[in-house]
Amino acid sequence: MQPSPSASSARGATSGRAPDPRVRPLGWPAVSYSPSVRLSSWAGVAVVVLMFGIGAWRRRWISDDGLIVLRTVRNLLAGNGPVFNVGERVEANTSTAWTYLMYLGSWIGGPVRMEYVALVLALVLSLAGMALLMLGTARLYAPGLQGRRALLLPAGALVYIALPPARDFATSGLESGLVLAYLGLLWWMLVCWSQALRMPRSRARGPIFTAALAFVAGCSVLVRPELALIGGGALIMLLIAAREWRPRLLILVAGGALPVAYQIFRMGYYALLVPGTALAKDAAGDKWSQGLIYLANFNAPYALWVPAVLLVALGAALWAGAAVRYRPRRPVPPGVGPWARLVQSPGGVVCFFVFSGLLQAAYWVRQGGDFMHGRVLLAPLFCMLAPVAVIPVLLPDGARYRREAGYLLSGAVGLLWVAVAGWALWAANSPGMGDDATRVTYSGIVDERRFYSQATGKAHPLTAADYLGYPRMRAVLSTIAATPEGALLLPSGNYDQWDVVPVILPVPPGVGVPTDPDPGAPGPHTVFFTNMGMLGMNTGLDVRVLDQIGLINPIAAHTERIDHGRIGHDKDLFRDWVVADGPWVKWYPLIPGYLDQDWIAQAEAALRCPDTAAVLGSVRAPMGPRRFLSNVLHSPSFTRYRIERVPRDELIRCGLAVPEPTRPTYTGMPPELP
């Protein structure tokens, strides 16, 4: 029996002879693949990335929520800070990392439209994430393929790119591409780290790699808050594997410095413990029934249970076969405890990544899912597919192959792979949600890309200008131009018209959005509408945009979640609050008939509730050291604070007197005669 190249190299090193230069040690980044493994690995990555890129480009678009991010970037570039509306510190974006990455890209891009910067960044990061995922899995199987002839074929990667939502959100202007790149990088680094314990020459054993891995793991919460479930778990694994206090201190500093620093900034600047979107969507709440509907909505069009069964069978076959039953020739270094050996092992990392995907999926089902078809379950699926993103198929190589039942194993793996590829071909051409794709039904879930393509009349809505074809968008620009003195614009039942509430002139100081002291400057404008992304990007930064669901409206954000509201839109602030909270006329006949003059008066009184005034002051008062420190101290209570949607109920909750009605209250009794 011929000795393996790695064993020959080891004996050469111990006997004083020079090692064979053709054999590379088991270390990072070089692992001695056979030519068939190396070529098939890179070919598979190239083919999958190319198919993913073509599929994503054919479905390219920028969503309304993606435009929300760009409005914040506009304010950053203008020097107004990371806000959506000037003078109101609201964190309108869930992903901190994506906001500042877009800021950097837009600053470097200069005259290039921000929408195109978002499109390119999202697509490139999506493709990079897929490549890293596949390379990490290829490295996972590398030790078991030392000196073996085998092919590495894409499997889980095909499942992911076959899903239409995966190709939709590879662009979209949202942070989905950044999430894929982050998870792919974390997976690749964890695989390298898990193998380093048994590879003395691996660079992944050093403090530099450990610090880099801890830093990447710690950044999870900045990419998306729920990714702390996987980033925090990775940091715990690193701490368990570290054997001394100095490496543990390094891990804590590298992994925690940036997230902790930003958290302090968030508490002082936004006066919250969580992003504003988490407050608006009540991320700590639960809607299990809606979450199960969302899960079924994602599974049904593509029969996701089919690849789940096939990939589980593939994983079991590989685990039972020689391809993954690798027994390292080098023992674990002395002094490494059993828990460290367990977590810093390929099997430990595989279990951790799959479990973290299941945990994220469970979180989103508990939360109620999302209103965008499939979006929030893509990242959990990406994690669960990581261990089988590519699979090895052994090729005949003599007696060893027959002794290990290679024909039977390779035949079974090959048949399962063909079944996965066949499902992927079918799913890639699936009609998805079908006729319900663009209709808001009882589930509240739609195919966002198809919805906005239909609503705007554009196959690929990419820029804010493309959204001018959306109902009411052109009308809002003409209405703002027709009211130079300022006004509050409320959506009318007519899609080509806005209801106008006049401004009270002169505007009292400190009421509403700050205005330019120049007497010749246009008056304040506020627009109240749900689609704040397209609205915010098609209007100037001097126009205040508010919504009723609380993503950019601090009053709506602090209301309670509606039990049966549309998921992601289940806070609904009455318009009377917006009239009360600004320099607008508050009486008939200058307000629309659907507003209640008494409700406006009650809302105006409720806004003087000391606790409510403190919450609003935390984001509207000028920022300084005193305000920052006060916000840090009070951010926990501000995060928990809730107000009642009905003004009268809010007055009762605050213990304030209800203003006298301006009109007689109907009691059902005839009026008394004089």
- Beta strands 525-528; 487-491: pairing state: parallel
According to the model, what pLDDT value does residue 407 have?
A: 67
Q: Which two tokens stand for residue 239?
A: 């701490």
Burial (Cβ within 10 Å: 0-12, 13-18, ≥19) of residue 152: buried
Q: Which two tokens stand for residue 347?
A: 């099997």
According to the model, what pLDDT value does residue 595 have?
A: 94
Q: Is 370 left (phi over 0), alpha (psi -120 to 50) or beta?
A: beta
> CB of 614 within 8 A of CB of 569?
no
According to the model, what pLDDT value does residue 30 have?
A: 47
Nearest in space to 188 (alpha carbons), one of 150, 142, 155, 253: 142
> CB of 77 within 8 A of CB of 106?
yes
> CB of 415 within 8 A of CB of 409?
no
At residue 372's C-alpha, the angle toward residues 371 and 375, to 5°, is: 125
Burial (Cβ within 10 Å: 0-12, 13-18, ≥19) of residue 504: middle
Q: Which two tokens stand for residue 554?
A: 């601090």
According to the model, what pLDDT value does residue 324 have?
A: 46
Nearest in space to 446 (alpha carbons), one of 161, 165, 57: 165
According to the model, what pLDDT value does residue 400 have?
A: 57
According to the model, what pLDDT value does residue 142 have?
A: 84
Residue 499 to residue 497: CA distance in whole angstroms = 7
According to the model, what pLDDT value does residue 509 have?
A: 62
Q: Which two tokens stand for residue 307?
A: 């690849």
Which position has the token pair 């000037």?
86
> CB of 61 within 8 A of CB of 452?
yes
> CB of 158 within 8 A of CB of 314?
no
Residue 671 to residue 541: CA distance in whole angstroms = 52
Cis (ω within 30 of 0) for the bond into 589?
Answer: yes
- Beta strands 543-546; 390-394: pairing state: unpaired
Q: Classify each residue of 109-133 as buried b or exposed e, where b means 16 or more C-beta atoms within 10 Å of its C-beta.
A: eeeeebbebbbebbbebbbbbbbbb
Q: Which two tokens stand for residue 633?
A: 């101290």
What are the backbone dihedrals phi and psi of residue 196, each rounded to the nearest 5 degrees, phi first?
A: -65, -30
According to the model, what pLDDT value does residue 24 have?
A: 45
Cis (ω within 30 of 0) for the bond into 29?
Answer: yes
According to the model, what pLDDT value does residue 261 have?
A: 97
Q: Which two tokens stand for residue 609?
A: 């509730």
Q: Which two tokens stand for residue 444?
A: 């509240």
Residue 375 to residue 579: CA distance in whole angstroms = 35
pTM of this prediction exceeds 0.95: no
According to the model, what pLDDT value does residue 512 have?
A: 52
Find the radius of gyration of the CA atoms of the chain. Answer: 29
498-502 sheet: strands from edge to edge:
498-502, 487-491, 525-528, 543-546
Q: Is 540 left (phi over 0), alpha (psi -120 to 50) or beta?
A: beta
According to the model, what pLDDT value does residue 410 have?
A: 77
> CB of 484 within 8 A of CB of 557?
no
Residue 501 to residue 512: CA distance in whole angstroms = 14
**Coil vs helix vs strand at 18:** coil
Contacts of 494 (CB under 8 A, 6+ apart): none
Residue 112 to residue 184: CA distance in whole angstroms = 29
Residue 385 to residue 354: CA distance in whole angstroms = 8
Nearest in space to 546 (alpha carbons), one of 502, 496, 512: 512
Residue 645 to residue 638: CA distance in whole angstroms = 17
Residues of the chain scoring pLDDT < 50: 1-30, 322-325, 513-520, 673-674
Q: 489 forms bridges with which residues in the sheet?
A: 500, 527
Residue 399 to residue 407: CA distance in whole angstroms = 11
- At position 77, the amino acid (one-letter code) is L
Helix (H) or strand (E) holding 248: helix 245-269
Residue 114 to residue 243: CA distance in whole angstroms = 47
Residue 129 to residue 132: CA distance in whole angstroms = 5
> CB of 541 within 8 A of CB of 74?
yes
